Structure formats: C-alpha cells, structure tokens
C-alpha cells in the first residue's frame, strides 16, 4: 500500500477516472449497437450525430485511439448509407 499522501490521492483519482471511463465507454458501445440495429435510415441519421459525439469524446480523453474512433464513425456512416 502507498505511504505518501500524494500517492493515496493518485489512487483515489485513478479509480474515479477508471469508473467514469468505463461508464462512458459502455454507454457509447450500447449506443453504437442501437444504431447498428436500426432499420430506418431517417432514425439512424438522427441518432448518428450524438453517437459520433460520444465516440469523439472517448478519443479526446484517450479512452480509445483516434484511429479506432475514425474507423467506428466510418463504419457507422457506411451502415447508414446502406439503409433505406
């Protein structure tokens, strides 16, 4: 166990950030699944900006890599383009 006050604070902060990242990542994954399950193009187009924003926030906070974020958004756009 850590002996210094700063190390104890770092442990507390790390755990808080880990839980926040985990929650945001899981929420984004669920939103992506919801978008992929949609069959109506109009509904998917309405949901896409919020999902893209969630993905961008994860990339900005280094929860996921920038290239992974770009690949996810690209795949979602391709999916929306195939809908009718």
Helix segments in 1-84, DSSP class H: 5-37, 41-60, 66-82
Per-residue confidence band for 51, with pLDDT thresholds at 50, 70 and 90: very high
CATH number among 3.40.605.10, 3.40.50.620, 3.40.50.360, 1.20.58.110, domain 5-82: 1.20.58.110
Answer yes or no: is pLDDT of 61 > 80: yes
Judge whether residue 9 has pLDDT over 90.
Answer: yes
Name 48's Cβ contacts closer than 8 Å, sequence gap at least 6: 35, 76, 77, 80
Query: Which region among 4-8, 19-23, 68-72 has the lowest average model confidence (pLDDT)?
Result: 4-8
Radius of gyration of the chain (CA): 17
Q: What is the mean pLDDT of residues 11-31?
A: 97
* CA–CA separation, 5 and 32 (whole Å): 41
pTM for this prediction: 0.88
pLDDT value, residue 60: 98
- Cβ pair 72, 55 in contact under 8 A: yes
């Amino acid at each position: 166990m850590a002996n210094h006050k700063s190390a104890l604070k770092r442990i507390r902060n790390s755990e808080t950030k880990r839980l926040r990242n985990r929650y945001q990542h899981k929420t984004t994954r669920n939103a992506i699944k919801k978008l992929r399950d949609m069959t109506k193009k109009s509904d998917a187009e309405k949901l896409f900006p919020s999902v893209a924003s969630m993905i961008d926030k994860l990339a900005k906070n280094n929860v996921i890599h920038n290239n992974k974020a770009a690949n996810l958004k690209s795949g979602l756009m391709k999916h929306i383009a195939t809908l009718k």
